[in-house]
Structures are given as structure tokens and as C-alpha cells.
Structure 1
Amino acid sequence: MTASVDRFRELLQIPTVSHTDESEIDWAPFDAFHAAVERLYPLIHARLEREVVAGHSLLYRWPGASPADPLVLMAHLDVVPVVESEWEHPPFAATLTGAGVDAVIHARGAIDDKGALVAILEAVEASLADGVEPARDVYLAFGHNEETAGGGAQAIVETLRARGVRPGLVLDEGGAVVEGVIPGVQVPTAMIGVAERGVMTLLLTVREQGGHASTPPATPATARLARAIDRLHRHPFPRRIAPPVRAMLSTVAPYAPQPLRGVLQRLDVTALVVAAAFSRLGPETNAVVRTTAVATQLSGAPGENVLATTAKAAVNIRLLHGDTVASATARARRIVADDAVEIDVRHGSDPSPISPWRGEAWSRLARTVRETLGGDVVPTPYLQLGASDSRWFTAISDHVYRFTPFHLTRAERDALHSHNERIRVEVWLRGIGFYRALIASS
């Protein structure tokens, strides 16, 4: 235990911070991370094939008895930036507090996503030490820029595609073991993402001649832009129960109290009512039942006494299954209804294909969850609300899932991408056992 935690803390202390503008990234920590992994996990580097892809991503192959239907375990090296003054403990000190069941590691990346990455490394190294020989090939795919462009994972997929590799099971970060997330359901649930929403950004632009702010026109560019944003806000996308959400609710229905149980068991009749209720319960449940859109960036004049010649807004949209980049763009143009507002797609990808929640791959995952994370845990399909590197793997596999094998409280989940990110040591160690069992079932 001590050695594993020490290795984890050492890797957490390396600030592999990514930025949208990659010219701002300090690549030295990424090189240091590569070197530390090689030093800390000697069996992996003696027995597995290793290559660096797209400059900083890592791809390992553990040859099994057969190359057919390999297992791919994913994670990413990079973490999001920090505001150090907001943290109770320094974000890259990997401070260990408490002892026994109260031991906690505080660090950026403790959960997202070095928690999974190092747990995978620990599982593979221990399995090698025990003489495990997988029945099928096992790949470790560690992207270097998941938090920004995801180009590392894309390059890994293209590398595997060129070699004719078609994975039988891909597992990336995603849902976790949680409690109380689904209204009325109190049993612990393992939220296994079978799909994820699409992501796109629309750029709204209004242009005018400009001039001095003391003599503004009747409708300046900023006002026209604000009106467009307000129209989008006042006309949200319609609510509906997408197939992964329907599967999730049907799975947990037997564990809900009456009368909720009956409501969830009759979604063919109650879907609209359930969707309406979810949309009012909070931001997370609202995002489960509709495409969401929110203005996230605004820009105008360079000075406070100057009229903007160009006013711009970025609108981030997360697409529920049934919507596409094209349909969402057309809808935005209809709602804004102003030819003076230019609407362009900055970037976008449609919702991912939906992986099956039946069959051999799903059964392996569900069985491993119950065997290693608790017999009372209910594995359930889940629609992942954010984007991950796994979306690129849907091009070469029909069985792509998103699940991090950690039991997380609401406070721990809220710390992701925020200050005071942390993970309980016993929870992390249990995650290693999950990956070891999944490898053994290959």
C-alpha cells in the first residue's frame, strides 16, 4: 500500500497542465512524467511494447494469447490549470492527510485523471509480477491533451486503425460509483457511460461602424448581441428521454420507492413527465434530458468609452442524442432571427454512438464492478454529459464505455476542475483491484 501511494503521489506532483493555446504549455513536465513512469514501473517497460504518439501521448501493448478483440484501458496525462490561492493544500504537493480509512490525497489530477492512469499502471505492474498472461492483447492508451483538443487520443486511434486493431472493449474515464444522483434511488450505482453528448461552440458576431460611446446608435452591436443571447436563453431545447437515459432509469427502477418505481417502470407513458421533473431538479439532471446551450465568452470594444465595431459571443452547446451540429445551428438561427447576427460553427462533433448495455463486453464490466466494488453496487447504463477522449475510439470499436472505478461523494465530484480536488486512499486502492480483475477477465 505505501509503495503504491508513494508512486501515485510522485506522479501527482508533476504539473502536466494543458492549455487550449498549446503555445502556452510547458512540455518539460510531460517529459518528466514519461521518465518517472518508466522508472517507477520497470516490469511494464520490460514486458510491454511502448511508443510515444503525437509527441507526448503514450501507447502500450501487452501481447496476449490472441490479438483479437483486445482490451483498451484509457486515461490522460494532462490536468486543467489551477488558481493556487483557492486551494486548502498546494495543488501539486500531493499532500496526504489522515490515516487508515480517513487517509486522503489532495492534488490536481487526483481524480481527473491521474487517479485512473496510475491505478491502471499499478494493476498492470502487479499483474505482471504475478505472472498473469492475458488471453487477449491489452492496450494502455494515455492521451496528453484530453482537456483541450484531444489530438493525442485521435492520433492513437489512427495508429491502431492503420494496424487493423479493433478493440472488443474500451474503457475510459466517466461515471463513478455514486449515491443519490438519481432522484429517489439511494442504492450505490455504478454509472457506466454508454455514450456521451456531442459538443460544439457557436460564434455569434455583430458588426457596426463604431465611434464614440457618447453618441451611440439606437441598437449598438453589444445590445443586438445581448438580445440574441437572451433569445437563446429564453428558448431552451426541448426535453426528452434519450435511449441511454431510458435504459438507466429502467435499470434503477426496481430500487426506487413507490410511487416513483411505477413511474420509472412505465416510461412509455411517463417519459414526458419524468423529463419535465428532471429539468427542474438541478443543472445535472436538466442536462440529462435536453441539449444545453450557454454563452461562455463575450468580447466587445477595447475601451470603456468606445463603441464596439465587433461584438462577439461564444455559445457552448452540448448535444443530446437526436440533435446534431447542423440541426442545433439551424435552430439557433431561427431563434435569434436577426440577419445582422452572424452565426458560425467554431467547432463541433455530434453525439457519440451508443454502446450496448447487453452482451459479453457489458457483462464483463458489470461483473467486475460487483466483484471488486461491492455486491450491493448496481451497474447501470449512463449518458455522459461531458466529452472525453473515448469518443475517438468509437471509430474502431462498438464497445466503448466510460467509467472510473472510484466511489465518489458529491463533494469530491464537485472538486473536479475546481479547487481542492482529492481522493480517499482506500477508494483509489480499490480501483486498482477493479483494473486487475478486468485484465484477468480478458
Structure 2
Amino acid sequence: MAPENTTDPAASVARFRELLRIPTVSDADDSRTDPAPFDEFHAALARLYPGLHGVLEREVVARHSLLYRWRGTTDGDPLVLVAHIDVVPVVEAEWDHPPFAAELIGAGADAAIHARGAIDDKGSLVAILEAVEQLVAEGFTPVRDVYLAFGHNEETAGDGAQQIVAVLERRGVRPALVLDEGGAVVDGVVPGVAVPTAMVGVAERGVMTLLLTAREAGGHASTPPATPATARLARAIDRLHRHPFPTRIAPPVRALFATIAPYAQPPLRWVFGNLAVTGPLLAKVFPHLGPEMNAMVRTTAVATSLSGAPGENVLATTAQAAVNIRLLTGDTVASVTARVRRVVADPEVEIEVRHASDPSPVSPWKGEAWRRIASAVAEGLSGDIVTTPYIQLGASDSRWFTRISGHVYRFTPFHLTRSERDALHAHNERIRVEVWLRGIGFYRALLRAS
């Protein structure tokens, strides 16, 4: 059993590692998700965080999601901290260390916990729990209600967080601030800017899947037609690749560069500070600076899965491709689908919208909610860090909360290297111990301001 000391860093790390060892893997087919690890996780939380469970009200939503309420001393609009319990599957052979062993590798500042979920998203979830447990032990009570909303199937776009939002909506809860996972503290993401930046998502891109289908009569592969279904499908995919969506600077990206302009090296300081003049050129340059910069200035589309004939010597009667599209703020499912049809330009290729959601509304990067986040960054994380808005490139449970709040933000309070960010949803996911412990400080500061 992990130690119960609420302030000892070693005890906090022990609790974190114990929870990382529970393989709460979600599957897109819910019938294939093993419920036992989720039950084990619930039981472990109650055992490891007795102070929290003694003060906060807890309810289970949608089978395995958790909603906690920490009653404040007033009826002011609450704070909602969002995280998710589930993790993505692993290919164990690709990992240098067992993905659910939570091994502690290295020493000193380099000591890191290697485990699936170390960052996405048990890192945030357990840091939240640690912060609450510490504050409860200190006798702290928030001024306004605090809700902890932990979905169980975020990785599969499941119903956990949606049902939590439905519960809060029925009760008339209108949060003053919702904070979910999102951008991290990073270095060097923007060329010419050396100062660490806390990238707080004020919006996230929409997400949709289009299914492209080409059909033919089929037959033996020894006598193929002039344009088989596979060739027609490949031509459609190639057209999408050769005609990407146009680039543009969306308002949150414009705000990002306005914020960091004073910290950029000349002449980029002038370039970033005068986007009315330089914006069109920057929008064309950014795609050449890497995938992240490309995704900040355009809607992206990529074929992620292909299927054809059941055998090597058989013509495919149906050839299909799933195209994953992430919509930049300002685009819509309808406008994107119409453009794909124009680009593919083949009436014999069927285009079906499988799953789709428009980009989220944009939350303000001024006002009380924003100041609370920026103040928590300054107080809870060490070093000179510039807090800046940006568009979150991936999707999260936060999009469901925009139904009940106009102040929904996405930030993971960990200072991550590029290689650590690249390990998300890949092998060798890990987080440095010192970085994770500082993240607890961020949540403590945010909670104290609630």
C-alpha cells in the first residue's frame, strides 16, 4: 500500500505510480473494454485519498466516470477540473520499459516515470487529486464550488464526459471556469522565441471522419479493368494530399503571436507584432516549419486506414479509406465536406460523413477566468513562463463543457520536451518526477483562487 502522507513528495509519487499500474484501457467498441481495471481504479482512489473522499461528494456517472463536488462557502459560479481515467492501448514490444509497470528510471532531475498514461491523462488527474488531498488536510475550503469531472472513455470519444455535462446542466451548474488537459509548458515551439510558454487552449479544432468508397464488379486480378476501384480510391487520396486546405491565421493564433512578440528575437519581434501586414506570408511559411505549425494554420486531412480485396489475387469490389480531418476555427463540417467533394472531383467515389463535430467556440483570453489560469502558472510553476492562448490541435472532453460554460480552457501544467510530447499515444510515454510534482503546485494555486 502506498504511503498516505499528503505532503511528502515520495508518497505522492508512490500513489501516482500505483494508479499508473492499473491498465484502464478503453476500446472504441465498449463491449471489448474490460471494466475490472476501472473498478479497481475507483477503489484505489477511495483508499489512497481518504481526506478527499471524506469531504467531497462523489457519484459515478455512465458506469465508470466520476464526478466529485467540493462545496464552497458561497454560491458563486464554480470551477470544474476535467481529466480522464482511460488510456490508449499499447504495443508492449515497442516499449523500452513495461508500459504498466510505472518504473522509475534515472536519478535527480532526470528521474522519470515510464508508463502509459503518465502524461495522457493520469498525470493531470492524479496531480489534481494530490492538490485537493493536500488542501483538505490543511483545512482549506474553496469560496466557490469545485467539481472534479473524470471521464472514463475520452480516448474513444465516448459518453462519460457528455453524461457528466448532462448531469451538471440539469442541475443548473454554469461554471465560471472549466480546465481540461491541453497545451503544456514548452520551449522553442515558435521560431525565435526562447522563453518557456504555457500554451493554454482557448479553442480546439473540430474533428471528423470521412469514408471514401470506390466500387466495381470485382473478379480475378489477372484481368483488371482500366481503372479498378483501388486506383480510383488512390487517385482521390492523392488529390486530397496534393490540394491541402488553405492556410490562414485564426484569431487565437493571432493572439498567440501578439502575446509572444515582445519575447521574440529581432526581426521576428516585428514580424509577430505586425500580423496585419505579415500574417498572409506567415500563414504560407508555417506549414514548412513542422507538423505542429502546419496544424495551427490550416484544416488538416489525412487518410488513416485503407481496405480492399480479401485476397491478393482478387479485385476489390469495394475499396475504402477513412480520412481523419481536423477543422481549424472558422471552418465547419459542411464547408469541409463540400471542399473534399470538389477536390476529389469523382462522382464514382462516394463520400460519407461518419463522425463529425465543428470546432469549439473560442473562450476569451482576457478577464477573470484567464487571469486565474495565468496567476496559477506564475505561482505554481517555477521559472519565468509566458502564458499565451492558442488553438488546441487535438480533441478532448473539454468540447462537451462548452454547452454549460463560455470559459473552457485546455492546459496540462507540465514542462514537456519535444520527445516527451511525441511519446503521447506512442511507446515510451513518460514524465519527469520534478515536472509532475510542480504540476501539483499549479492545481493548488488554482484551487486556492477558487
Compute the TM-score of the two structures, normalised by the length of structure 1: 0.99
List structure 1 segments (4+ residues) > 3 angstroms apart after TM superposition: none
Report if the CA contact (8 A) 2:200-2:390 is conserved. yes
Q: Please tell me whether the aligned partners of residues 382 and 438 of structure 2 are also in contact (alpha carbons under 8 angstroms).
A: no
What residue number does 1:76 align with? 84
What is the correspondence of 1:12-31 to structure 2 with a 5 Å cutoff?
12-31=20-39
Instruction: Using the TM superposition, name which of 354-363 and 273-282 deviates more.
Output: 273-282
Secondary structure of 1:147's aligned partner: helix
- Residue in structure 2 matched with residue 261 of structure 1 by the alignment: 269
1:426 match: secondary structure: helix
2:321 corresponds, among 308, 313, 318, to 313
Q: Is 1:299 the counterpart of 2:307 in the alignment?
A: yes
Which of 241, 247, 268 aligns to 2:249? It is 241
Residue 370 of structure 2: aligned partner: 362
- Using the TM superposition, give the Cα deviation of residue 23 of structure 1 relative to its aligned residue in structure 2, in angstroms: 1.9
1:251 to 241, 252, 259: 259
Match of 2:427 in 1: 419
Q: State whether structure 2 residue 118 is matched by structure 1 residue 110.
A: yes
CA distance in 1, matches of 2:53, 2:290: 46
Following superposition of structure 1 onto structure 2, how do residues 185-264 of structure 1 map, counting pairs within 5 Å?
Answer: 185-264=193-272
1:375 CA drift (Å): 4.7
| Contact 1:150 1:389 survives alignment (8 Å) | no
CA distance in 2, matches of 1:296, 1:102: 35
Contact 1:16 1:29 in 2 (8 A): yes
Matched, 1:120 2:125: no
1:356 aligned counterpart, secondary structure: coil
Q: CA deviation at 1:101?
A: 2.2
The AA in structure 2 aligned to 1:378 is: V
1:282-338 CA distances to partner (integer Å, 9 max, x unpaired)?
Answer: 111001000000001111110111111111110000000121100000011111111
Judge conservation of contact 2:380–2:444 (CA < 8 Å) in 1: no
Is 1:37 the counterpart of 2:45 in the alignment?
yes
Cα distance in 1 for partners of 2:128, 2:317 equals: 52
User: Residue in 2 aligned with 1:396?
Assistant: 404
Aligned equivalents of 2:109, 2:292: Cα separation in 1: 29
Find 1:161's aligned residue among 164, 169, 188. Answer: 169
Cα drift, residue 102 of structure 1: 2.6
SS at match of 1:96: strand
- Which residue of the partner structure matches residue 278 of structure 2? 270
Tell me, in whole angstroms, the C-alpha distance in 1 between the residues paired with 2:234 and 2:10.
55
Q: Deviations over 1:373-396 (max 9, x none)?
A: 135100000110000000000010
Identity between Structure 1 and Structure 2 (%): 77
Q: State the alpha-carbon separation in 2 of the partners of residues 54 and 403 from structure 1.
A: 25
CA RMSD of aligned residues (A): 0.8
* 1:436 equivalent in structure 2: 444
Q: SS of 1:67's equivalent?
A: coil
| Paired residue type of 1:401 | Y
Q: Deviations over 1:314-373 (max 9, x none)?
A: 000000012110000001111111111110100100000000000000001101101121
Distance in 1 (CA, whole Å) between partners of 2:410 and 2:40 is 28
Query: What residue identity is the alignment partner of 2:159?
Result: G
Q: Give, as a single letter, the amino acid of the residue that structure 2 aligns with 1:433.
A: G
Within the candidate set 325, 331, 356, 2:339 is matched to: 331
207-216 or 97-106: which moved more? 97-106
Report the equivalent of 1:11. Answer: 19
* C-alpha displacement of 1:182: 0.9
- Confirm or deny: 8 A CA contact 1:17 1:80 kept in the other structure: yes
Q: Distance in 2 between matches of 1:335 and 1:320?
A: 18
Distance 1:64 1:324 in 2: 39
Which runs of no fewer than 5 residues in structure 2 stay unpaired? 1-8
What amino acid maps onto 1:143 in structure 2? G
Kept in 1: contact 2:113–2:433 (CA 8 A): yes
2:149 is aligned with 1:141: yes
SS for the counterpart of 1:218 is coil
Shift of 1:38: 0.7
Classify the secondary structure of the residue corresponding to 1:11: helix
- Which deviates more from structure 2 when the two are superposed, residues 366-375 or residues 74-83? 366-375
Alpha-carbon distance between aligned partners in 2 of 1:244 and 1:439, rounded to the nearest angstrom: 26
The runs of 5 or more residues in structure 1 that have no matched partner are: none
Structure 1 residue 100, shift from structure 2 partner: 3.0
Please say if residues 7 and 40 of structure 1, whose CA atoms lie closer than 8 Å, have aligned partners that are also in contact: yes
Contact 2:216 2:228 in 1 (8 A): yes
